[in-house]
């Protein structure tokens, strides 16, 4: 089974190409007594302390937001593909409702270590759930 990171990397390359997050670009405005005194794109100019009020405005905020929106979409799809592959390869006979309940429990217990840890934790949780169902059925 492919790891979550492999799936995410492949989806990113297919849908997005190999693109790095855009670097924030700023425009600086300087005010004194409520009047615009100076403006620049050069961050080095901002290092000089003039006693003016400085405002920093991100010029490419939409581009950065679009990048993060696309990445979030890819990550959501990667989770969906990862769960589908996990179900098909490791738990093909498991009831879908039981799979979702076990996934939820495993996610709560293991998500801080990544989705691959969630998948590893699923084995123990599914085994426990199946034993409970067998015991109740007897």
33-59, pLDDT tens digit by residue?
888 888 888 877 766 666 788 888 999
Give the residue ranges of the chain where pLDDT is below 70: 18, 46-50, 138
Environment class of residue 74 by beta-carbon count within 10 Å: exposed (0-12), middle (13-18) or buried (19+)? buried
DSSP secondary structure string, 96-132? HHHHHHHHHHHHHHHGGG-HHHHHHHHHHHHHHHHHH
Predicted pLDDT of residue 18: 64
Predicted pLDDT of residue 126: 93
The residues spanned by each domain of the chain are: 92-138
């Amino acid at each position: 089974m492919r790891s979550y990171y492999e799936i995410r990397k492949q989806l990113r390359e297919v849908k997005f190409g190999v693109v790095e997050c855009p670097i924030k670009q700023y425009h600086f405005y300087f005010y004194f007594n409520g009047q615009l005194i100076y403006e620049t794109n050069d961050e080095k100019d901002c290092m000089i302390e003039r006693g003016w009020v400085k405002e920093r405005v991100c010029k490419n905020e939409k581009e950065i937001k679009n990048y993060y929106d696309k990445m979030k979409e890819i990550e959501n799809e990667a989770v969906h593909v990862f769960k589908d592959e996990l179900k098909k390869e490791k738990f093909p006979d498991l009831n879908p409702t039981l799979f979702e309940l076990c996934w939820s429990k495993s996610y709560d217990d293991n998500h801080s270590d990544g989705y691959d840890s969630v998948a590893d934790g699923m084995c123990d949780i599914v085994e426990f759930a199946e034993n409970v169902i067998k015991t109740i059925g007897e």
